Amino acid sequence: MVVKVYGPAYASPKRVLVCLIEKQVEFETVDVDLFKGEHKEPEFLKLQPFGVLPVIQDGDYTLYESRAIIRYYAEKYRDQGTELLGKTIEERGLVEQWLEVEAYNFQPPIYKLVENILFAPILGVPSDAKAVQESDEKIAKVLDIYEERLSKAKYLAGDFFSLADLSHLAFGHYLVNQTGRGNLVRERKHVSAWWDDISNRPSWKKVLDQHKYPV
Amino acid sequence: MVVKVYGPAYASPKRVLVCLIEKQVEFETVDVDLFKGEHKEPEFLKLQPFGVLPVIQDGDYTLYESRAIIRYYAEKYRDQGTELLGKTIEERGLVEQWLEVEAYNFQPPIYKLVENILFAPILGVPSDAKAVQESDEKIAKVLDIYEERLSKAKYLAGDFFSLADLSHLAFGHYLVNQTGRGNLVRERKHVSAWWDDISNRPSWKKVLDQHKYPV
C-alpha cells in the first residue's frame, strides 16, 4: 500500500514528505494547485473539510494536519528508518514541546513574511510593511531563545534529531533561502550550525530536489 | 513526587489540570498573575523562556506548552485513569489530528473574543469590533465542520473520549459561558450534545470548582 500525499509543492506537505523519507515509507504525491483554488473544490473538501493542505490517504485511512501525520508515521514505523520521537517518554515530551513551539512561535511569523514578500506580488495585492517588520522582530526573539537552547543541546529536544527539528525544515527553508532572512540564522552561532546540520540531511535534499516550492 | 502546575487560574493551564485529574495524577498549583506581569519575571523565564503559561515541574523534569504536557501525561500513565489516546495507532492519529484542529481553528478565534470582550475593559483598551465579528464568523464555520463530524461519531476522534475533546474544554468554556456565544453551540444539535457530555465530566467540574477563571 503506497501512501498518497496531497499538495507536495507547498511547505506544510513537505513536512510530511521529509518524515516519510526518514521513515523509509513509500509514497506517491497528488498535485493540488492552491492558486487555482483546487483546495476549495468539493472533492478535496471531502478529504479535508477545512480546505487546507496536506492530507494523506493510506489505504482507507485518511489523515490531515501535517504535524498529526508526522506523529502518526513516526509512531507506526517506530522500528524502521530514523527514530524521530526520542527513546524515552521524557524525551518524547520534549519533542512534543518543541513541535508546539515550532507551530506557535516559529512558523506563524515566517508565514507572514511569505505572504507579504512572496505571495503578495503574485496575487497583485499590496505588501504590509508593518506586518513584515513585526514578523522580523518576532523571529529574532524566537531565535534568541533557540540559540540559548542549542548552546546546551545539539538538537531542540536533546542530543538526538527528532520530529521537532524536522518540523522546522519547511518554513526554515523559506526563512533562509527565499525571503532573504538568512542573516537571522547566520548571526546566531548555534542556530546556524543546527540549521546546516538538519537542512543537509539527504531526506530534505531529496524533498527539495523532487518537489520545488511554488515561489 | 507531586506535579507542580503553574498558572491554574488561566485557560491553557486548565487543559493540564483536567488531564491530570482524568489520569489520577496528584498535583499542586503555583499561582502566576499575568495582570501583574509575573510571567515575564526572570525566575519564571528560567522555566518558560517564552513567558507564557503553563509550565509544569515533575521532580527535575520541566515541560511547557499545554498540549505537549497533556500528551506526556496521557502517555506516561497510559494504564492509569481514563485512556485518552485511543487504543490503536490509527485512533491516536485521529486524536492528534483533532488536537491540531483545536489548536489552529478553534482556540484562536475564541482567544480573540476573550481579548476583546473580557480583557479589553479590564485593561482599559478599546475593543476591536471588526475582530469580534470576524471571530464569530470563523467560529461558526469551524463548528459547522464539527457538527458534520459529530453527526458520525460521538467524540471528535471516534466513539471514545480523548485528549482531542478534553483540549476543547478550557476555551469552550469561555465561548459558552463567558462571552455570550452559547448560541453558537446550542444551534448545532450534535455539537451541543457533545459539549454537554464533555463539560459535565466530573474532572472538568472539579477544575472549575477549584480554580476560578480570572474573568
Q: List pLDDT tens digits, range B59-88.
A: 999 999 999 999 999 999 999 999 999 999
Domain spanning B3-81: CATH 3.40.30.10: yes
Cβ-based contacts of A145 with chain B (< 8 Å): 49-50
Cα–Cα distance measured from residue B153 to residue A94, given in angstroms and rounded to the nearest whole number: 32
Cα–Cα distance measured from residue A206 to residue A195, given in angstroms and rounded to the nearest whole number: 16
Asked if A94 has any chain B CB less than 8 Å from its own CB, the reply is yes
Asked if B105 has any chain A CB less than 8 Å from its own CB, the reply is yes
Q: Do A72 and B61 touch (CB under 8 A)?
A: no
Nearest Cα to Cα of residue A181 among A112, A98, A99: A112
Amino acid letter for position A40? K
Task: Using CA coordinates, name the residue in chain A closest to B77.
Answer: A89
Asked if B103 has any chain A CB less than 8 Å from its own CB, the reply is yes
- Residue appearing with cell numbers 513551539: A101
pLDDT digits (tens, 9 = 90+) for B155-210: 999 999 999 999 999 999 999 999 999 999 999 999 999 999 999 999 999 999 99
Q: Do A97 and B68 touch (CB under 8 A)?
A: yes
Q: Do A68 and B105 touch (CB under 8 A)?
A: no
Strand order in the sheet with A3-6: A27-30, A3-6, A55-58, A61-64
Q: Do A96 and B145 touch (CB under 8 A)?
A: no
pLDDT digits (tens, 9 = 90+) for A75-130: 999 999 999 999 999 999 999 999 999 999 999 999 999 999 999 998 899 999 99
H or E stretch covering A113: helix A107-113
Q: Which three cell numbers stand for residue B74?
A: 496521557
Cβ-based contacts of A103 with chain B (< 8 Å): 103-104
Cα–Cα distance measured from residue A18 to residue A21, given in angstroms and rounded to the nearest whole number: 5
Q: Residue B93 is nearest to which of A49, A63, A96, comparing CB atoms?
A: A63
Residue A89: predicted pLDDT:
98
Does B1 score more than 80 pLDDT?
no
Three-state DSSP at B212 gives coil
Our CA-based measurement puts residue A133 at a distance from the nearest CA of chain B, in whole angstroms, of 20
Q: Do A97 and B49 touch (CB under 8 A)?
A: no
Three-state DSSP at B114 gives helix
Q: Do B75 and A63 touch (CB under 8 A)?
A: no
Cα–Cα distance measured from residue A167 to residue A159, given in angstroms and rounded to the nearest whole number: 16
Best of B67, B106, B143, B148 to disrupt the A interface (most A CBs within 10 Å) is B67
Query: Which CATH architecture fits A89-201?
Result: Up-down Bundle (1.20)
Cα–Cα distance measured from residue B8 to residue B84, given in angstroms and rounded to the nearest whole number: 21
Q: Do A94 and B145 touch (CB under 8 A)?
A: no
Task: Using CA coordinates, name the residue in chain B closest to A145.
Answer: B49
Cα–Cα distance measured from residue B4 to residue B56, given in angstroms and rounded to the nearest whole number: 5
Beta strands B27-30 and B3-6, pairing class? parallel
Q: Do B97 and A64 touch (CB under 8 A)?
A: yes
- Is the preceding peptide bond at B214 cis, omega within 30 degrees of 0? no
For chain A, the domains span: 3-83+206-210, 89-201
Residue A209: predicted pLDDT:
98
Asked if B50 has any chain A CB less than 8 Å from its own CB, the reply is yes
Instruction: Report chain A's C-alpha Rg in angstroms.
Output: 17
Our CA-based measurement puts residue B34 at a distance from the nearest CA of chain A, in whole angstroms, of 19
Q: Do A96 and B148 touch (CB under 8 A)?
A: no
Q: What is the DSSP string of B158-197?
A: BSS--HHHHTTHHHHHIIIIISS-HHHHHTSHHHHHHHHH
Instruction: Report chain B's C-alpha Rg in angstroms.
Output: 17
Positions of chain A with pLDDT under 70? none
CB pairs under 8 A between A and B: 75
Q: Do A93 and B100 touch (CB under 8 A)?
A: no
For the structural domain made of B89-205, what CATH number should be given? Answer: 1.20.1050.10
Q: What is the mean pLDDT of chain B?
A: 97
Q: Residue A72 is nearest to which of B63, B64, B96, comparing CB atoms?
A: B96
Our CA-based measurement puts residue A88 at a distance from the nearest CA of chain B, in whole angstroms, of 10
Domain spanning A3-83+206-210: CATH 3.90.1150.10: no
Asked if B45 has any chain A CB less than 8 Å from its own CB, the reply is no
Cβ-based contacts of B76 with chain A (< 8 Å): 89
Is the Cβ–Cβ distance between B214 and B39 less than 8 Å? no
Q: Helix A11-22 crosses helix A66-76 at what angle (to 10 degrees)?
A: 0
Cα–Cα distance measured from residue B13 to residue B15, given in angstroms and rounded to the nearest whole number: 5
Is the Cβ–Cβ distance between B150 and B156 less than 8 Å? yes
Asked if A197 has any chain B CB less than 8 Å from its own CB, the reply is no
Q: Residue B89 is nearest to which of A64, A67, A76, comparing CB atoms?
A: A76
Tell me, yes or no, if the two domains B3-81 and B89-205 fold the same way. no
| Distinct helix (H) and strand (E) counts, chain A | 12, 4
Does B126 score more than 80 pLDDT?
yes
CA A140 to chain centre: 19
Cα–Cα distance measured from residue B96 to residue B90, given in angstroms and rounded to the nearest whole number: 10
Q: Do A68 and B100 touch (CB under 8 A)?
A: yes
Q: Do A61 and B89 touch (CB under 8 A)?
A: no
Neighbours of A89 (CB within 10 A): 15
Is the Cβ–Cβ distance between B49 and A105 less than 8 Å? no
Residue B215: predicted pLDDT:
86
Residue A215: predicted pLDDT:
86
Residue B11: predicted pLDDT:
97
Mean pLDDT value of segment B18-30 = 98
